[in-house]
Structure 1
Amino acid sequence: MKQPYYDSILLIERLHRHFLEVLKVELDRQGVQDINNVQSLILYNIGEDELTVGELTARGYYLGSNVSYNVKKMHENGYLTQERSAHDRRSVRVRLSEKGIALRDKINTLFERQVGALGEAGLSADELNKANELMRKLERFWTSALDYTNYPASSAA
């Protein structure tokens, strides 16, 4: 069990890096030089929403310090607009600018092309659903590992 578990951890990390490389290549093809692949993924996930940096972090996609830096860079490069919350002046809400929406549309087109090619690559919706179910189980396992009251005791005491 140890080796398959470890192999899964390595594969998940490697898949994430490969996906980010796919985004980087697409940005290069589009001639987009003022945003990186991680920032473009954050931008895509913001979508039509208006969120705070805290809400982006709470979604579990990103580390807090990285989100703040990346949001700042995307704002500086015109992909996001920022507005202070009327209710809490300490809170800043972000949403996509016109430039951000245009890039999100390009990324969406990439995803649509990839979805169209999945069948040709021998991947079915059922297989992806099963893989997603497995990854959600791992996510729940790792989340429970953070709750030390429910985590199995170590045999090396």
Structure 2
Amino acid sequence: MDEMIATTAEAHEASALPRIHEVHTDPNQTAACEETLPKALKKSSGAKSPARFAYERIIMYIRNFEKALDNAHEVAMGFTGGDAGVIRIEGMGYFDPDLVTFYGSDATGAKTQLIQHVTQLNVLLRALPKHIDQEAPRRIGFKLAKELEESVETPTDATT
């Protein structure tokens, strides 16, 4: 008898844990969450707002996207459903219970911020050449993921 029997509580908790499934034509392409997840992402989504849950998962996708970039490119976000263009992602946040925001600059260097409701959330990640005057590309996904790994699962009132 190799089958594991779960209590109702364990089954309910398991159903709320984040899961990911991806299939790629490129065998070198890995799923966004295949590597070790930060503790914040291993917890049930039941205690998190939709905004925080979306924020944390998008960070994993950004970090994975950046892993495939060379030193001449940085991650940017294209807007879906319009001609608004692309912003270089320089920051990201959420406002409980249902808003996610992206901070950055557009192709002309103008300061840009996108505020998106989680029910309307579409993110198109793009590779843009880094600024010529920069020695190395800025990797926002790795910085955001590090913050997740170091964060305690308690909400904060301060913004960074």
The higher relative CO (CA closer than 8 Å, separation ≥ 6) is in: 2
Calculate the TM-score normalised by the size of structure 1.
0.25
Higher percent of residues as helix: 1
Q: TM-score, normalised by structure 2?
A: 0.24
More strand by share: 2
